[in-house]
C-alpha cells in the first residue's frame, strides 16, 4: 500500500491575487503529483496570496499549525481559525526571484523551525542543469511543526522541475518529519543492497521526541515543549530548537555598555508617531504641542485694574474725589460709566468738611477701568472724606499723594498680545499647569499634540499567577495561599504603574507561559493587531531572557517572528540580560517597527531597566523636551563595596543646607546620597524602600574594591528629590 500525503499549494503572485493574470501553477503541480508515483499525493488545499510578507506568513502559519488548542488570551485567534494540522507538504509557487517584489523566502524562512538545505541544493542543481538562469532563484526549504515547506519558482514548468528534483526523497522525508520512520529505514529504502554507504548517510538532526504525546500520529508540533537555542553554525536566522543538553553554555550576545545600549535604542526609535487634536482640558498636562499657538485674543481683553482702589485721572492729582458707581470684578466694561469732567467739577455733596471737586470710580482687582481714567490708586493710599446719607456708601475720599498715569492698570494685551505666538511646537504643558491655564485664558478649545506611544506590558513565566494588582487577581482574591512554586506576577503591575505614572497609555497584555509556541503566537498576535487598529508601539516584557532552558524569548524573537535583536546583554547590575529588539510589522511594511524591551524577570532588574531604557525612549518618542532621567552629582555619605559590573544602586538623594549656610548670599546646595538599604539583591523589591534615585557606581577594579564616603557620584533621579529644608 502506498503511503498517502496531504499537500497544500500556495500561489504567491500579486497579479494572480488581483485577478489580472490567470494562475497555471496549481494545475501543473496537481497534474504532476497525480502521476508522480512513489506515494499518493492528495492536494487538499490551495490558496493565492499577493507578494506580501504578511499574507504569505499568515497562509503558511495557517497550514502548519499544531492541532493542540492554543493557549492564547484572545479566543478569536486569527492564526488558529482555519488551521488544518494535517498538511504534510506545503508547496509555495512564486516570489523566489530577485526583483524587489519577490519576498517569499523572506516571509517563509523565519517561520521554519528547521531548515533543510539538502532540498534547496537538489532543486538548484536540477534547475541549473536546465538553465543558468536558475542562479536567480532563491528557494528555501524546511520544516515547520510537522509540515515540510518547499518554495518553488512561479513559472509552472520550473515549479514542476524543482518538485521533480526532490521527489525521490520526499516520501521518506515526510515520514521522518511525521515520526513514522527512522533514518535507518530511509537508507534501506534508498539503497536496498545495503553496504558501506549506509554509514555515510548523515543522521537527521531530529530533536528528541517530547514525552507524553505518543508517537506517530499526534499532530502536535514536535518542538512544542522544547527550548530553543541558536545553532551557532547556522548562517541564516533560521533556528533549531534542540534539547537542553545541546544548549549554549555561554550567552551568544555580546555584552554592551549602558551607554552603547542607549545609543542603539536611539538609532531605532521613531519620533514619527503622528499627532492628535485634543480638547483643552486638565488631562492635557504633560503633553507636548505639535503646533504653535497664536493668541486669538488679547489678555486682558479690557483695561483691568491690578489693585483694589479708585480709578482716577492721574492729571487730577491730590484732592477730594467724589466716588462714583463701583466697578467690581465681574462688572461688564460697557456698564462702567466713563469718568467725565462735567460729572464732578464744582459739585458739593455737603456731607463733610471738605467738598469734592474731582471724581473717582471704586474698582476692584481685575475689574474694568472706566474710560477716561488712566490710573488706579490703591485703597491704602486714600482716606474716607464723607459717607453717603445711608452711612454705608462712600461719598468722597481724599487722595493726598501724586498719581502716575498708567499706575496699576493692566493695558489691553499687556499679558498676552493678540497674534503673539504664546506656545511653540515642542513645548510641553508643564505639570505646574501654567501652559494649560494660558491656553484656557485665550479661549483656545483644542490643540494638536504629539501622540504618545502606546505601551503593551506582559509578563513571561509559567510560575506566574495574577495577583491582587490585576483585574483577574482582584476577583480571585489575591490573598489565597499560592501553591509552593507559584508566585504572584508583581512585575506587570509594577511596570504598568510606573509607565502610567509617567502619563503613557498602557495596555495590560497579561501573562504568557514560558513555552516557545505560546510566546511566538502571542507575539504574532500582537503584531497582527495592526490590522484591527488596537496596536501598541512598544512592547515591554519581563522574564525569560537569561540562560535558562525556559528562557525562550530571545530565540523566538530572533528566529520565529522576524525580530532584530539590537542588544541582548548589558554590562550593568541589575539588568544584565536586558534585551532590545525591533520587529517590522508585516501588515504595515512602511510603519515604524514595533520596539520590544524584554526586561529581566528579577523584579528589581525589571524596574531599574524600565527606568533606564524604556522611560527615556517613550519620552523621546513623545517629543518630550527632557527625555532623560534627571542626573545630579552627589556626595556619597558612606563606603559602598563595588561590584564587578557597574551598578545602579538604589539610593536616597537629598539637597541639604545647614542653617548657617542657608543665610549665605550664595551657596550651592550640596546634594548628598546614601544607599537605600543593605542586601540589594535583584529579587528584593524592598531594596527600593524609600529610594528616589539610582546611584551609579563604577565597576570594581583591582585597586578599588570600595567606593569611599565623600566620593562624588552620579545619580539618576527616579522620584522626587528630597529637600532637607522643606521650603
Ligand X SMILES: Nc1nc2c(c(=O)[nH]1)N[C@H]1C(S)=C(S)[C@@H](COP(=O)(O)OP(=O)(O)OC[C@H]3O[C@@H](n4cnc5c(N)ncnc54)[C@H](O)[C@@H]3O)O[C@H]1N2
**Distance separating alpha carbons of residues 244 and 223, to the nearest angstrom:** 12
How many whole angstroms separate alpha carbon 16 and alpha carbon 307? 80
Query: In the complex with ligand MOO, which residue's Cβ is closer, 276 or 463?
Result: 463
- Considering only 327, 385, 526, 602, the residue that binds ligand X (CB under 6 A) is 602
Residue list 532-551, contact with Mg ion (CB under 5 A): 546, 548, 551
156 is a contact residue toward ligand MOO (CB under 6 A): no
**Spatial distance between the Cα atoms of 243 and 228, rounded to a whole number of angstroms:** 8
User: Which of 207, 213, 220 is CA-nearest to residue 176?
Assistant: 207
Distance of CA 236 to the CA centre of its chain: 28
Contact window for ligand MOO (CB under 6 A) among 135-143, 284-292, 599-607, 618-626 = 599-607
What is the closest distance, in whole angstroms, from the C-beta atom of residue 546 to Mg ion in the complex?
A: 4
SS3 125: helix
Segment interacting with ligand MOO, rule: CB under 6 A, options 58-66, 433-441, 598-606, 660-668: 598-606
Of 464 and 536, nearer to ligand X (C-beta) is 464
603 binds, among ligand X, ligand MOO, Mg ion, none (CB under 5 to 8 A by kind): ligand X
Stretch that binds ligand X, among 212-220, 270-278, 350-358, 602-610 (CB under 6 A): 602-610
Question: Could you tell me if 324 and 363 are in contact, meaning their C-beta atoms sit under 8 angstroms apart?
Answer: no
Segment lying near ligand MOO (by CB under 6 A), choices 321-329, 354-362, 547-555, 569-577: 569-577
The stretch near ligand X (CB under 6 A) out of 109-117, 252-260, 332-340, 536-544 is 536-544
Radius of gyration of the chain (CA): 38
We find the least distance from the C-beta atom of residue 719 to ligand MOO, in angstroms, to be 20
Q: How many residues bind ligand MOO (CB under 6 A)?
A: 8
By CB under 5 A, tell whether 675 contacts Mg ion. no
Please choose, out of 293-301, 413-421, 455-463, 516-524, the segment that lies near ligand X by the rule CB under 6 A. 455-463
CB 416 within 8 A of CB 295: yes
| The one among 81, 384, 388, 487 contacting ligand X by CB under 6 A | 487
Degrees, nearest 5: CA angle 431-437-443:
145
Applying the rule CB under 6 A, the residues between 545 and 574 that interact with ligand X are 545-548, 551, 574
Of the pair 93, 605, the CB lying nearest ligand MOO is at: 605
> With binding defined as CB under 6 A, does residue 543 bind ligand MOO?
no
Applying CB under 6 A, among 473, 600, 603, 651 the residue interacting with ligand MOO is 600
Closest chain position to ligand MOO (CB)? 682
602 makes contact with ligand MOO (CB under 6 A): yes
Closest CA to 92 of 77, 113, 111: 111
CA 121 to chain centre: 42
From candidates 156, 453, 575, 586, binder to ligand MOO by CB under 6 A: 575
Q: What count of other Cβ atoms lies within 10 Å of the Cβ of residue 340?
A: 13
Nearer to ligand MOO, 371 or 463 (CB): 463
Cα–Cα distance for residue pair 426/432, rounded to 1 Å? 17
Q: Does 144 bind ligand MOO (CB under 6 A)?
A: no
Which of residues 606 and 693 has its CB atom nearest to ligand MOO in the complex? 606
Of residues 189 and 644, the one with the C-beta less far from ligand X: 644
Work out whether 682 is an interface residue with ligand MOO (CB under 6 A).
yes
Residue 13 touches ligand MOO, criterion: CB under 6 A: no
CB of 485 to ligand MOO, least distance (A): 20
Q: What does the H/E/C string look like for 140-183?
A: CEEEECCEEEEEECCCHHHHHHHHHHHHHHHHHHHHHHHCCCCH
**Binding status of residue 542 toward ligand MOO by CB under 6 A:** no
Phi, psi of 258 (to 5 degrees): -60, -40
User: Residue 196 carries which DSSP code?
Assistant: G
481/285 Cα distance (integer angstroms): 42
- Our finding on whether 349 is near ligand MOO (CB under 6 A) is no
Please report whether residue 543 would count as binding ligand X according to CB under 6 A.
Answer: yes
Residue 571 interacting partner from Mg ion, ligand X, ligand MOO, none (CB closer than 5 to 8 Å by kind):
none
**Binding of ligand X by 463 (CB under 6 A):** yes
3-state secondary structure of 516: helix
Kindly list the strands in the beta sheet with 455-460, ordered across the sheet, starting from the edge strand earlier in the chain. 506-512, 455-460, 538-542, 594-599, 579-583, 563-567
Burial, 691: exposed, middle or buried (Cβ in 10 Å; 0-12, 13-18, 19+)?
buried
Contacts of 313 (CB under 8 A, 6+ apart): 339, 358, 372, 373, 374, 375
The grid coordinates listed for 551 are: 528562557
Please choose, from the candidates 145, 250, 232, 226, the residue with its C-alpha nearest in 3D space to the C-alpha of residue 550: 226
**Could you tell me if 517 and 550 are in contact, meaning their C-beta atoms sit under 8 angstroms apart?**
no
Of residues 140 and 716, the one with the C-beta less far from ligand MOO = 716
State the minimum distance, in angstroms, from the CB of residue 478 to ligand X: 13
Would you call 461 helix, strand, or coil by DSSP?
coil
Nearer to ligand X, 464 or 621 (CB): 464
Residue 408 partner contact from ligand MOO, ligand X, Mg ion, none using kind-dependent CB cut-offs of 5 to 8 Å: none
Applying CB under 6 A, which part among 146-154, 460-468, 597-605, 626-634 lies near ligand MOO? 597-605
Residue 4 neighbours by CB distance under 10 Å: 11
Q: How far apart are the first and last CA of the chain?
A: 92
Q: Give the residue with the Cβ less far from Mg ion, 58 or 241.
A: 241
SS3 639: coil
Determine the Cα–Cα distance for residues 236 and 139; give it in Å rounded to an integer: 13
Residue 498 touching ligand X (CB under 6 A): no
Position among 459, 526, 555, 691 found at the interface with ligand X (CB under 6 A): 459
Residue for grid cell 488581483: 18
Nearer of residues 241 and 573 to ligand MOO, judged by Cβ: 573
95 binds ligand X (CB under 6 A): no
Q: Helix, strand or coil for residue 364?
A: coil
Least distance CB 263 / ligand X (angstroms): 22
Please state the closest distance from residue 645 (CB atom) to ligand MOO, in A: 7
453: cell is 506611544
Query: Which residue of 64, 113, 682, 692 would you call a contact of ligand X, by CB under 6 A?
Result: 682
Distance of closest approach, residue 645 Cβ to ligand X, in angstroms? 9
Helical segments of 229-316, H only: 258-268
Q: How many residues at the interface with ligand X, by CB under 6 A?
A: 26
In the complex, the residues that contact ligand MOO under the rule CB under 6 A are 573-576, 600, 602, 605, 682
In the complex, the residues that contact ligand X under the rule CB under 6 A are 459, 461, 463-464, 487, 489-492, 542-548, 551, 574, 576-577, 600-603, 605, 682
Amino acid at each position: 500500500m502506498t503511503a498517502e500525503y496531504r499537500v497544500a499549494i500556495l500561489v504567491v503572485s500579486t497579479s494572480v491575487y488581483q485577478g489580472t493574470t490567470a494562475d497555471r501553477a496549481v494545475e501543473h503541480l496537481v497534474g504532476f503529483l497525480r502521476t508522480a508515483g512513489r506515494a499518493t499525493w492528495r492536494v487538499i488545499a490551495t490558496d493565492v496570496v499577493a507578494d506580501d510578507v504578511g499574507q504569505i506568513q499568515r497562509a503558511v502559519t495557517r497550514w502548519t499549525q499544531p492541532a493542540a488548542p492554543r493557549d492564547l488570551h484572545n479566543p478569536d485567534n486569527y492564526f488558529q481559525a482555519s488551521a488544518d494540522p494535517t498538511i504534510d507538504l506545503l508547496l509555495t509557487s512564486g516570489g523566489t526571484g530577485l526583483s524587489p517584489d519577490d519576498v517569499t523566502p523572506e516571509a517563509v524562512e523565519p517561520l521554519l523551525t528547521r531548515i533543510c538545505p539538502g532540498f534547496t541544493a537538489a532543486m538548484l542543481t536540477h534547475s541549473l542543469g536546465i538553465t543558468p538562469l536558475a542562479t536567480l532563484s532563491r528557494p528555501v526549504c524546511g520544516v515547520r511543526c510537522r509540515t515540510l515547506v518547499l518554495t518553488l519558482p512561479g513559472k509552472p514548468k520550473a515549479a514542476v522541475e524543482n518538485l521533480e528534483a526532490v521527489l525521490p526523497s520526499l516520501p521518506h522525508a515526510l515520514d521522518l518529519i511525521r515520526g513514522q520512520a527512522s533514518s535507518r529505514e530511509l537508507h534501506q529504502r534508498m539503497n536496498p543492497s545495503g553496504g558501506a554507504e549506509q554509514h555515510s548517510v548523515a543522521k537527521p538532526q531530529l530533536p528528541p521526541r517530547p514525552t507524553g504525546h505518543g508517537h506517530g500520529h499526534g499532530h502536535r508540533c514536535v518542538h512544542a515543549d522544547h527550548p530553543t537555542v541558536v545553532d551557532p553554525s547556522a548562517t541564516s536566522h533560521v533556528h533549531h530548537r534542540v534539547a537542553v543538553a545541546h544548549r549554549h553554555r555561554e550567552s551568544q550576545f555580546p555584552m554592551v555598555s549602558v551607554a552603547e545600549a542607549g545609543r542603539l535604542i536611539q538609532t531605532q526609535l521613531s519620533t514619527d508617531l503622528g499627532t492628535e487634536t485634543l480638547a483643552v482640558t486638565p488631562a492635557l498636562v504633560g503633553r507636548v504641542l505639535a503646533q504653535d499657538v497664536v493668541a486669538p485674543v488679547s489678555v486682558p481683553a479690557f483695561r483691568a485694574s491690578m489693585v483694589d482702589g479708585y480709578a482716577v485721572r492721574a492729571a487730577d492729582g491730590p484732592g477730594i474725589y467724589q466716588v462714583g458707581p463701583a466697578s467690581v470684578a465681574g462688572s461688564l466694561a460697557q456698564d462702567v460709566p466713563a469718568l467725565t469732567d462735567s460729572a464732578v467739577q464744582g459739585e458739593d455733596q455737603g456731607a463733610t468738611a471738605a467738598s469734592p471737586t474731582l471724581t473717582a470710580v471704586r474698582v476692584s482687582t481685575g475689574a474694568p477701568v472706566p474710560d477716561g481714567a488712566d490710573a488706579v490708586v490703591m485703597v491704602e493710599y486714600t482716606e474716607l472724606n464723607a459717607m453717603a446719607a445711608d452711612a454705608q456708601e462712600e461719598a468722597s475720599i481724599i487722595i493726598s499723594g501724586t498719581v502716575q498715569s498708567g499706575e496699576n492698570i493692566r493695558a489691553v494685551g499687556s499679558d498676552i498680545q493678540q497674534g503673539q505666538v504664546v506656545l511653540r511646537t515642542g513645548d510641553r504643558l508643564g505639570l505646574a499647569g501654567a501652559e494649560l491655564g494660558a491656553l484656557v485664558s485665550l479661549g483656545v478649545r483644542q490643540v494638536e499634540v504629539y501622540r504618545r506611544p502606546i505601551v503593551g506590558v506582559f509578563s513571561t513565566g509559567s510560575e506566574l499567577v495574577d495577583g491582587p494588582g490585576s483585574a483577574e487577581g482582584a476577583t480571585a482574591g489575591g490573598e489565597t495561599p499560592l501553591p509552593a512554586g507559584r508566585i504572584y506576577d508583581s512585575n506587570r503591575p509594577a511596570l504598568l504603574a510606573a509607565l502610567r505614572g509617567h502619563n503613557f497609555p498602557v495596555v495590560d497584555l497579561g501573562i504568557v507561559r514560558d513555552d516557545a509556541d505560546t510566546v511566538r503566537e502571542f507575539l504574532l498576535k500582537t503584531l497582527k493587531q495592526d490590522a484591527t487598529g488596537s496596536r501598541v508601539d512598544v512592547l515591554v516584557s519581563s522574564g525569560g531572557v537569561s540562560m535558562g532552558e525556559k528562557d525562550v524569548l530571545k530565540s523566538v524573537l530572533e528566529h520565529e517572528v522576524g525580530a532584530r535583536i539590537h542588544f541582548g546583554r548589558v554590562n550593568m547590575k541589575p539588568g544584565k540580560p536586558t534585551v532590545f529588539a525591533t520587529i517590522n510589522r508585516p501588515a504595515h511594511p512602511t510603519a515604524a517597527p514595533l520596539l520590544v524591551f524584554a526586561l529581566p524577570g528579577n523584579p528589581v532588574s525589571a524596574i531599574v531597566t524600565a527606568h533606564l531604557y524604556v522611560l527615556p525612549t517613550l519620552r523621546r518618542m513623545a517629543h518630550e523636551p527632557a527625555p532623560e532621567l534627571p542626573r545630579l552629582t552627589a556626595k556619597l555619605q558612606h563606603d559602598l563595596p563595588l561590584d564587578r559590573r557597574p551598578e545602579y544602586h538604589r539610593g536616597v538623594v537629598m539637597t541639604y543646607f545647614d542653617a548657617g549656610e542657608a543665610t549665605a548670599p550664595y551657596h550651592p546646595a550640596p546634594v548628598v546620597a546614601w544607599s537605600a538599604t543593605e542586601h540589594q539583591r535583584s529579587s528584593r523589591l524592598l531594596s527600593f524602600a524609600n529610594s528616589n534615585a539610582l546611584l551609579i557606581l563604577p565597576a570594581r577594579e583591582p585597586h578599588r574594591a570600595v567606593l569611599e564616603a565623600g566620593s562624588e557620584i552620579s545619580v539618576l533621579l527616579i522620584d522626587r528629590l528630597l529637600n532637607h529644608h522643606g521650603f
